[in-house]
Amino acid sequence: MFYREAGDFSTTYSEDSQTFPIKFDRVRYYVVLAVAFLVVPFIVNDYWLNAVLLPFLIYAIAAIGLNILTGYCGQVSLGTGGFMAVGAYACYKFMTGMDIYLMGADGEWVRYALPPINIFFSVILAGFVTAFVGLLFGLPSLRIKGFYLAVATLAAQFFLVWLFNKWSWTYNYSASGQINAPTRGVLGYEVTGPTAEPWAAYLFCLIFVVVLAWIARNLTRGSMGRRWMAIRDMDIAAEIIGVNPLGAKLSAFGVSSFFVGVSGALFFAVYLGAVEVGEAFGIQKSFLVLFMIIIGGLGSIFGSFAGAAFMVLLPVLLKNILVGTLGWPTDLAAHIEFIIVGALIVIFLIAEPHGLAQLWRIAKEKLRLWPFPY
Amino acid sequence: MKDTIESYVTPDGRTIGGVLMEMKNITLRFGGVTAIKDISFDIREGEIRAIIGPNGAGKSSMLNVISGFYHPQEGEVWFRGDRRPPMKPYQVAQQGIARTFQNIALFEGMTVLDNVMTGRLTHMRAGMLAQALWKGRAEAEETENREKVEKIIDFLEIQSIRKTPVGRLPYGLKKRVELARALAAEPMLLLLDEPMAGMNVEEKEDMSRFVLDVNDEFGTTIALIEHDMGVVMDLSDRVVVMDYGKKIGDGTPDDVRNNQAVIDAYLGVSHD
């Protein structure tokens, strides 16, 4: 194998602290990027896009976001679904043109209608709105820890879903209470709505995934990441070396919520197109993303991708095998699918509690010596 | 009197400067229990100051007062000539006081290098945006601080375990990594809470050498709690002796050794 560091010498500290210190890894990374950008867009079709690629990419962003909070900073959150909903509804308001009411000089409420914002910027702005909401719900984290914090974020989940059901301004007073993504494009290419081309929607999400993953990696390898990890591993010791616990925890909540918000916005605008909040962003979504990072590996960017791939691909794979190959009835297959996925998760947690990322790490350690382990 | 003069030179040729930290009439109570009762002492620049006493004497509480975990009910803490207002531990750290713990408090999930790098966090100021893009200050800062950390790693002879997760290390090495993390902050005052607890003779000798070297090379002022009397008497310039929350002795190792109250506290006294 080519996977070894022999012959790779770092002569500067920045070379030593890069993301892929081993040459083979670096090359592989560029190959994956090249395939994702230059090959996949030409062969992608509707089925692959909607069954596999879009959910994988969008969940990967959410998983990275939750991993920053839970895996790196050690703050358990069960509010991911609620924060995704914030991202989705914020994006909807930005892309359809938000009407805001401000107090005028004479004490009267004056209505201002913002023009619709380009979908690209809507998604980013939605991330910032979610980051702000995440900061608010992160405030209790200074006082409560562990399971109790999880329960507090659970409250955020239910509150936010309730809010988007009751507050009609958020869904533009539509009779159904749903939000529907209008057709919007970037640089003349449609990325949302029913007529969007698969390759355009795919590339739109891919760009967000790549840039956000790169940002997450940068944040976690520098001083910010060390602050988070110090809080995670031992908060008292972190404080004694000069980490402000409130600052570290809130920044993790903010950054994490930004990622989750962007993922929620893409989930609504690009993937689903129409959203009913309780159905799309309910508590099961929070657990799904939590499963992803536990199975993928806490405290690992790669693990977020691996976990998202596992949870998205496995049901698709099982369905294809059970219905497509074995010819079982669809409803039976759907139930068996639940059983198998659930059992696999349990087996996985017993066999490798540190997730797919740890398996990958062990494989790499072995590969370094292969085929001569002595 | 040594307390009144500005600075002096020790027999082994080190210069001890003026007062760096002064504790004035500190009293610390937990409910009805008085852990520290009206204790005053000072720590001078460049010296190795030991705090000793039997179990439960209040030594660790004293260190916790200095590092901001506990806030005394009475008394004042003076640092570098200013009275220190009540501070959070992270603010104390930013003032230039670092410490190690009695039972190791390392970040088990991180490598040795990352652990020591966390010691530099008080010196790292890059904003979130610069870090997110890994441009400008973030990148330069990382390299700069890495250089300083590598010096500490060389100094404490832990180069070979640089990239090992801390969880995998044996006890003695963990203690050394913890010292490295505290040193990486380039503190003015270093607090060591039982740096040699649970070590064998060789490890103690190594650690003593490191403590002396740190003091000698970096000029760091050190306050340490230790139970091994041999180590304390050899290392320290001055010793505070505590018993039941009170100060019963203060002076050079020789003074303390011959102090009747100290002998009574350690050996017990007959009540007849």
Which pLDDT belongs to residue B2? 43
| Mutation site for A-interface testing, chosen from B103, B133, B134, B181 by largest number of A Cβ within 10 Å | B134
Chain A positions contacting chain B at CB under 8 Å are 12-14, 16-17, 215, 218-219, 222-224, 226-227, 229-230, 232-234, 236-245, 251, 255, 299
Percentage of chain A exceeding pLDDT 70 = 95
- Contact (Cβ atoms closer than 8 angstroms) between residue A84 and residue A62: yes
Question: Which CATH number goes with the domain that contains B25?
Answer: 3.40.50.300
Which pLDDT belongs to residue A336? 86
* Segment holding B264, helix H or strand E: helix B260-267
Which pLDDT belongs to residue A6? 62
Q: Is residue B134 part of a domain?
A: yes
Residues of chain A contacting B89 with CB distance shorter than 8 Å: 236, 239-240
Is residue B11 located within the same domain as residue B74?
yes
What are the tokens at B50? 């030991």
- A79-88, B124-133, B146-155, B193-202: the lowest-pLDDT one: B124-133
Whether B89 and A222 lie within 8 Å, measured CB to CB:
no
Domain count, chain B: 2
Alpha-carbon span A79 to A62, nearest angstrom: 12
Is residue B55 located within the same domain as residue B101?
no
Which pLDDT belongs to residue B148? 87
Is residue B66 located within the same domain as residue B122?
no
Mean pLDDT of chain B: 85
pLDDT tens string B39-92: 888 888 888 999 988 888 888 888 889 988 888 888 888 888 888 888 888 888
Exposure string of B57-86, with b = 16+ CB inside 10 Å and e = fewer, is bbbbbbbbbbbbbbebeebebebeeeebee
Q: Pick the residue with more confidence: B5 or A190?
A: A190
Is residue B5 located within the same domain as residue B57?
yes
Residue B180 structural domain = 97-186
Q: Nearest CB to B89: which of A16, A239, A299?
A: A239
Task: Write down which residue in B132, B164, B186 finishes a domain.
Answer: B186
Mean pLDDT of chain A: 85
Residue B9, pLDDT > 80, answer no
Q: Is residue B228 part of a domain?
A: yes
Is residue B112 located within the same domain as residue B173?
yes
Q: Is residue B213 part of a domain?
A: no
pLDDT tens string A52-111: 889 999 999 999 999 999 999 989 899 999 999 999 999 998 888 877 777 777 777 787
Alpha-carbon span A332 to A337, nearest angstrom: 8
Residues of chain A contacting B119 with CB distance shorter than 8 Å: 241
pLDDT bucket at A1, cuts 50 / 70 / 90:
very low
Is residue B159 located within the same domain as residue B120?
yes
Residues of chain A contacting B179 with CB distance shorter than 8 Å: none
pLDDT bucket at A8, cuts 50 / 70 / 90:
low
pLDDT tens string B223-246: 999 888 888 888 888 889 888 888
pLDDT tens string A207-222: 999 999 999 998 888 8
Is residue B71 located within the same domain as residue B116?
no
Q: Nearest CB to B121: which of A16, A227, A251?
A: A227
Whether A242 and B133 lie within 8 Å, measured CB to CB:
no
Task: Write down which residue in B143, B163, B186 finishes a domain.
Answer: B186
Is residue B83 located within the same domain as residue B102?
no
Residue B1, pLDDT > 50, answer no
Q: Is residue B178 part of a domain?
A: yes
pLDDT tens string A272-324: 888 888 888 989 999 999 988 988 888 888 999 999 999 898 888 888 888 87
Phi-psi region of A193 (alpha: psi -120 to 50; beta: other; left: phi over 0): left
CA of B147 vs chain A CAs: smallest distance (Å):
8
pLDDT bucket at A9, cuts 50 / 70 / 90:
low
- Contact (Cβ atoms closer than 8 angstroms) between residue B54 and residue B80: no
Residue B11, pLDDT > 80, answer no
Is residue B83 located within the same domain as residue B125?
no
Residue B3, pLDDT > 60, answer no
Q: Is residue B140 part of a domain?
A: yes
Which pLDDT belongs to residue B126? 76
Exposure string of A13-24, with b = 16+ CB inside 10 Å and e = fewer, is beebbeeeebeb
Task: Write down which residue in B165, B186, B207 finishes a domain.
Answer: B186
Q: Is residue B203 part of a domain?
A: no
Q: Is residue B66 part of a domain?
A: yes
Which pLDDT belongs to residue A373? 65
Whether A14 and B139 lie within 8 Å, measured CB to CB:
yes
Is residue B70 located within the same domain as residue B101?
no
Is residue B167 located within the same domain as residue B231?
no
Residue B132, pLDDT > 90, answer no
Is residue B82 located within the same domain as residue B102?
no
pLDDT tens string A132-185: 999 999 888 888 888 888 888 999 999 999 999 888 888 878 878 788 878 887
